[in-house]
Structure 1
Amino acid sequence: MDSLVLQRVRPSWAPPTLAVLAAITAGVVAQGGFYLPGRILVTALALIALALAWQRFELRPLWLIAGAVAAWALLRAATAGGLADAAGICLALLTLIAGVVVGRGARATDLAAGLTGLGALVAITAWAGVAWRIERWSVLVESTLWRGASTLTYANAAAAVLAACALLALALCTARPSKIQSLLLYLTISGLGATLSRAGALAFALGTAVFLLFGPRRKALRHLIPAALGAAVATAALVPSFPATAAPQPLIALAGLAAGAVIALLHPWFALGLALVGALLVDRSTLDKVLDRRFTLDSQGRSGALRSALETAREHPLLGSGPGQARYLWFDYKGDLVVSRWVHNEYLQWLVDLGAVGLLGLLVLIAALVVLMRRGDVGNPLWAGAVAAIAALAVHSAFDFLWELAVVPLLVGALTGLAAQPRSEEPAVSINGEEPQ
């Protein structure tokens, strides 16, 4: 009963929640925390959030598993080199745990709303980066297409964050429907379209399937269909601005964004009709150029790095090459030799760096996170949204080096904590906004 009373009087936007949202926001702004200054900032803010939530430290098995994985990374670095990369792994594990601790004690709607709002800001900047060719918010890929990247710099990283935030926005639409929530869902999906990320689109699609499996299907589709159709129109209006050989068309993009917003607020059948009309206005020749580059499974960078990484893994299958010690070589689309420190697959990267021993430790850590989430409020739309967002990030991690960005482990931790929240018996925080009869 005491815990119930504490939950009833707990203020909204508690300091640990604000601190972890500040850490994630800082990571997004600081290029994902990929470079050392940004990584230090994200870690410092995550530690502040952890300190504010000190009384909630009750996840001893998770701490022990993460500690064992960190110890192996440091041990392997001591014997093979790569101490800086091993330290990066330890910091990523620390921010992951911080996110879990804070997310598990946060008010679910506050944390979800904060992440959704952040996703909308990422989406708007990524979209504007393409529409106006703002180099701070967009990137020219292979000298052919401009793609939305927001302040994360890397288009696929922006897509990963947007896919997760869009799934949370979908959860909020089903839990507490409103026009604002519908617009936020529409904006995040539109931003995802602006990134032109195939991995992001696949991750969002599979994440949506997970949400429909565990969440309220009819309510979800009632909001998802108009938002997705509106986002399709907004993305189509960006088509003239994507090719590097063409001048940007911000007025067309703005008109498409406005039309998409109208569609997103309509009944699904009306939305479908307007979306079809909008599709007829797209310049087919320009669209073909975009589709020729993005609507394909071919990726020389990924396939080349994958082959090189598999060869390296065969040389050190059990212990790995050491954190950050391997180099991957392949030829790019111009025929030039490319050398990279990262393979576009975090699971394979882990195997190469830390061997089968390290990969086993990672799998045990993932299993512990899954067990923790299974103890949460299963059936709650926010639980389903958090699980779907984590699934999307897990899928996307098989196609990009997302874990090198400090913000991603922290985001995964916060989502895990959100999903791991115990079932609430308090009417004041009912997901339907109504007290039970």
Structure 2
Amino acid sequence: MGTSWGKSMVVGDVVGARRESVALPLPVLLVLAAFAAAVVAQGGYYLPGRVLSGLMVGAAVVLARPRPGLLAAFGGAFAVWAVVRGLLEGDVLSAVPAAAAAGVFVGSVLVVAQADREQREMLGTVVTGVAALVGLTGWVAVVFRIPSWTTVAEGLLRAASTLTYPNAAAAVMSAAVVLSLVLRPSLLTAGTGFLLCTGIGATMSRAAVIALAAGLLVLGLCWSWQKMAAAVTPPVLGAVVALAALLPSMRVADEPRPVLAGAGLVAGAAVALGLRRLGRFAVPVALLLVAGGGVAAFAFADRLATRVSFSSPDRAGATGAALELVSRTPLLGVGPGNGSFFFQRGNEGTRVMRYVHNEYLQVLVELGAVGLVLVLAVVAAVLLGLWRGRGTGLWPGAVAAVVVLLVHSGFDFLWHLPVVLVVAGLCAGLGFPSTRDGVVEGVEG
């Protein structure tokens, strides 16, 4: 009996060691590499970044050989329609970005859907870790006034990180933060969540706040309100401390205060990592931090007024111009890449915007009602796949992350950046039905 007990212990140790040494499959690593490359290459917006991220995801799909389903069918139909519209306009090359965007997103979902439970946990940790680095570099850019990593808007420095577009950086971090809340609790995940919340605040993105609120609402419904509140409170309160110390450095007209900002970042990290250990003192401390953050926001209210307001004259003007174009060609659209929006801006004369800052409306303008219906079909296929995947470990966070990106896409041009498409595919795939053998795709068409 002693011998059999000893053997069982050895077997248990071996199994435990195997579980701890999780290795990600090569196709999944390629999708992760595409995400990281797009983060570094300005979100992949320009041609080299688009080509690199697209080739990596394409290679991952070839190696993984996922079984096609509804998502692949609708994504392919959208790509074909974009090419057809390009041909009708006599410029098929103009359809390549839209077709490639569909392929990058769908390919990322299908590859990640093959990962098993342990691989998904590691994958979620890596994705949120990379996004946390985006937040940290954005904070650094504001404190040390790095021009290429910040954007000046209404006299304020907004963190843009290596993506160079604050709203895209905020979208990536907002999706990552709700995903981080369902990962196994540890100092690493707590620190990651803190950096993500701080980075979102440093972007000063209003759309990100709205999208994040929607994601947290969905997370509470899909997971547990109590668990969600317990998970989100420490990183948010830590971010409140860090951002309160960052505010004096955000106005362009003021001198940066790196010592104060650095002290605030350290103090915020201490709050995020140590709040749960305060026991009964956690609630009073949390209330004090909220009050302190409110005082700091009030003190800088005059400087932040433009970011608190929901007014956006340029976007309103572009939306009006877009609706006028839709009224002219509602079914087929004006053609891929042909959506330019002209409008009057008071005494400033005629303004022109390339993007309407609403991806659903942008698709309607360029590819017509046919293109929008196909996009909504892709969204429906994703939601169906997520519904079938309920019960998997990261499912609540994955669903919330997808909702964050769907909501945020109604306020900014996000689908034109591969980094957003890849992170959307990663998050969606993590919530699809789990496949342990790594061969059969997690979605049945």
**TM-score, L = length of structure 1:** 0.89
The equivalent residue for 1:207 is 215
> Among 202, 210, 221, which residue is 1:194 paired with?
202
SS of residue in 1 equivalent to 2:158: strand
- What residue is the counterpart of 1:70 in the other structure? 79
Identity of aligned residues (%): 42
Shift of 1:51: 2.5
The answer on whether the counterparts of 1:17 and 1:102 sit within 8 Å (CA) in structure 2 is yes
Indicate the residue corresponding to 1:375 in structure 2.
388
Question: 1:188 and 1:75, CA in 2 relative to 1: closer, same or farther beyond 3 A?
Answer: same
Unpaired segments ≥5 residues, structure 1:
426-437
Equivalences for 1:2-401 in 2 at 5 Å? 11-54=22-65, 57-106=66-115, 107-142=119-154, 144-172=155-183, 176-265=184-273, 266-267=275-276, 268-276=282-290, 278-279=292-293, 282=296, 284-285=298-299, 287-331=300-344, 335-376=348-389, 378-401=390-413
Q: Secondary structure at the match of 1:330?
A: strand
Match of 2:27, SS state, is helix
Distance 1:213 1:423 in 2: 25
- Whether contact under 8 Å (1:237, 1:253) holds in the other structure is yes
**Per-residue displacement from partner, 1:93-122 (whole Å, max 9, x unpaired)?**
111121112210122102101111011100
Change (3 A) 1:232 1:336: farther
Equivalent in the alignment of 1:433: none
Larger Rg: 2
SS in 1 for 2:74: helix
Contact 1:92 1:410 (8 Å CA) reproduced: no
The corresponding residue for 1:432 is none
Report the aligned-residue RMSD: 2.1
**Cα distance between partner residues in 2 of 1:271 and 1:93:** 47
CA shift at 1:281, angstroms? 6.6
User: 1:42, CA displacement in angstroms?
Assistant: 0.7
C-alpha distance in 2 between matches for 1:160 and 1:330: 27
SS in 2 for 1:128: helix
Letter in 2 for 1:41: L
Structure 1 residue ranges (4+ consecutive) displaced by more than 6 angstroms after TM superposition: none
SS of structure 2 residue aligned to 1:136: helix
Distance 1:326 1:219, change over 3 A: closer
What is the deviation of 1:304?
1.1
C-alpha separation in 2, matches of 1:281 and 1:370 = 41
Whole-angstrom CA distance in 2 between matches of 1:309 and 1:380: 41
Residue by residue over 1:29-87, the C-alpha shift from the partner in whole angstroms, topping out at 9 and shown as x without a partner, is 11111111110011011112222312xx1123322222211111111111125533311
Gaps of 5+ in 2: 1-14, 277-281, 438-445
In 1: Cα distance, 2:346 partner to 2:123 partner: 43
The two structures have a TM-score, normalised by structure 2, of 0.88
